[in-house]
Structure 1
Amino acid sequence: MTIARRRIAVMVIALLVAVAGLISSGSPARAASAEVTRWAGHDRYATSSTISAQSFPGGAPVAFLTNGLEFSDALSGAPAATRLGGPVLLTQVAGLPTPVADELRRLAPAKVIILGGEASVSTAVEDEVRALISTEIVRWSGPDRYATSAVISAESFPVASPVAFVASGLVFADALAGAPVAGQLGGPVLLTQPDALPGATMEELRRLAPAKIVILGGAASVSEQVRSQLAALTTGEVSRWSGADRYSTAIAISTEAFPTGAPIAFVANGLIFADALAGAPAAGTLGGPVLLTQAGGLPTPVADELRRLKPSKIVILGGEASVSATVRDQVAFLSSDFPQASGGRLTRATEVRAGTCLASPDASHQLCVGTDGRFGIYRGTTPLWTSGAADATVRSLRIRDDGNAVLFGVDGRVIWESSTAGTDASELLVQNDGDLMLTAPGGAIVWSSMSSATAPRWRLPFASGQSWAAGAPHANSGGTVGARGSLDFGPQTGADRRVLAIADGTVYRVQCGSASYLGINHANGWQSTYYHLVNYQDQLVGQFVTAGTYLGDVGRTVPCGGGATFDHVHLTIRRAGVPVSVEGMRFGGYTVRSSGQDYWGFWTTSNEVRVLTAQGGAACCLTAP
């Protein structure tokens, strides 16, 4: 037994003892989830209009207009908008974007406030607004961004404000996260230089005489020297809400402002200011924080803060170019609480949590999710198949609505997936024979651990001792969804070109119109099909053949459509005619792993040593035992 297998066995023994009481056939409670939605448009201007429409469906008494390409004016405008009960809409310098014009017409505000000077929002925009709706139009601006923030504060907040917030006028992230909180707590956001408090800001703080001052961001954004200046402008404390980076600073602001949670939370790109600028007044009005994220993945501390807040609604600001579908999936996972699966069935409404097991109906086998980031199927303490993943922060195994079985981390990251997105799979069954079967409505199997004693044992489709290039799993259709059940294998130049049967079975013809190619029916409804070959051995159709039987040579033929750029065999694994994801399947002593993206994945040895990584195509080489 290898060290890795001993470690797994020890974990499973402890796990089975610990969770014996959890395995039952009782009816699970219903899943509880927060609503996750996205407010977005085709660009930043349309997004600001969407945010306004969602936040102020019945119209608003006031609307703010600010330059959509500059952040400084809107940073102070967001708390004012929260206080006065209106949205912040983004505009171009010289003209009003059509979505913004339409939203102003719908809002019908009694007053429109333009933030910034004519270099930011031109008089032409002012004239367009005047021609569009009957409203009072005013402009709040100063000679620079610091003076403009002071003007906005003076117009919006009275003397003896309970709090004033101070942030750097050179970076947007800290003030963006602080703006909704400032509006809710009844104070402005004033801008400062990093090392010196501008005169306009100082004078406005003297006028406000706030009960306390909060600095947003670390000392690199607002220095301790500025903090000393601020101490002379309030009779209360001067505190700092900050973190190690912009994401952590937004979390610190959220933690300070919402110590017991929040009914709603907003998530926006931390590197692009436009969406969060428009979202800040909405967050202030609806009573939640704005948290910042990277475009392609949710930072772990942000995930932790969302779990702490427990909002009943989470709003993603901006389109998928700003906040990806991956982040949305992470947020959706974090906002849901599923009951433990039971009765040998994992459904879309249940989960198997880290440190627990799901027994087969006869309790002879267990699907166990370890706290080390692995899950697998076990007979007693013997692992029959494992996911091969390793992560110290695993949370649970679930089936997503897209048909993918996914092992999630505590931050919503995907640690492992069945690579079956788009299949509509809805149940993962723990079979009495030791197989895990992911099934779609109607019973079609789209992924299997192939761990039962009667499951076929695949060999590689080429001769022993030969080394061929091998690709990563991809969908049989060549599309981007469906079970990734196909693999490409091709010989090195000058090598043996023969393609061999991967297991015992009966040869059949896969018909497509008047053309065809070969497949093999194996035990228990399993099939393998072989595409692109030349010299097909058609005389084998209807005959039982053993593993290693010659079927033809690699080629580029496309009898049923598609394409080929090199000589190879396109091997597809099926069950009852339906392609089955090959994630985790073994071929001749190697295991193939899928990343969930076509043609991206890797191969490992029986000891889980990675020997081949295929990224975007086929890579050399696997050697057949």
Structure 2
Amino acid sequence: MSRVRGWACAVALVAASLLTNPTTAQAAPAGAGDLTAAVTTRLLDRASATDAGLRSAGADDTRITVTRRDGKAWAFGTAVVVAPAQEGRYPAGWLFVAHRDRSGWQIAFDGEPAFTGLAATAPAPVVSPTEKRVFTSPSPMYAGGDYRTGMRLPFAVGQSWYLTGGPHGWAGSDTPWSSVDLSGGDQRVLAARGGTAYTMCRGWIRVIHDRGYATDYYHLWNSISVNGAGVGEGAYLGDTGTDVTCGGAASGRHVHFALRQNSAYVPIAGHNLGKWVVMSGGATYQGYALHGSAQVNVGGALYNHGALGLTQGVVDANGGGTVNKRSGPGTGYAIVGSVADGATVSVACSANGTTHTGRWGTTSLWNRLTDGTWVTDAYLWTGVSGPVNGWC
């Protein structure tokens, strides 16, 4: 069914990290006059508060890229702290908007409340109208019981790639476990969903999607150079590789794929990618993925079924081969067919009926499919615990 539980600890960690974000843009002295120096100062403060492993970083460990300016008053770009060249270490990076007034440069990074305000008032040459909509649209609460992403796996639909690393942190052992490692196929890394793309540094692309989500792709070779351009689902971003321009280590070519929501890394477990529900293991890099009842462990191959629509579900017979379809919302109604485990179905609306227990828990919710038949939500993964397309 559609319930996914057990993320309370991860939610608390994400919420705690968001509380460290300043509510207003912070200023560097006007006399300094150097935008790069001002952004560097703010960046090192932000990075040290976010990642204890970066507290010893200095100005030589930063990569500030000013991609757009409007006179001497406004600027936009990316700010990255390079990680040590060690296994399990990863860089930290943000978009920034900067505005200079009499007190100096007012600088805000994405994820800080001040960022939306500066982005909204920045002139169009600095923040485009499309970006203004992306940066200022209301963001849902983290997960909020809704684990739908509308994303495919970050490679071509119809290919199978290896899950070489199960859920782990962006920096390996850190929390939340936001990332997985993927390799194989034709090695071409593609956008998991359409959005607005940025090159954080060579080998590292970030795509900001709808519904508060973003995805990061690291270790890429031949990565595209992009600065706020729109990309469609399946757009080429680069090839799997071992690039560590911004730090860390990679022993074999792969893409380190991470999930973000509301400008912070979030647990990837419980979310659906390419019609697979990613699940954590007992330790970092362990875990598995589920497509219906089919389970693929780390080291196995994931077939990319494409994105699951926001009003669709994947049938999970919980070990059975098929699920009955009925003429109404309950076992008192006639059986009018069946649907195979792993099949994709489209939901028209939902209603309460008889209670059943599936892999994800017990529910009385039934879903009316677009063909007019009904299936219990106990045997359907949709990503939410309630109606996915309203009540009948």
Larger Rg: 1
Structure with a larger share of its residues in strand? 2
TM over 0.5: no
TM-score (norm 2): 0.43
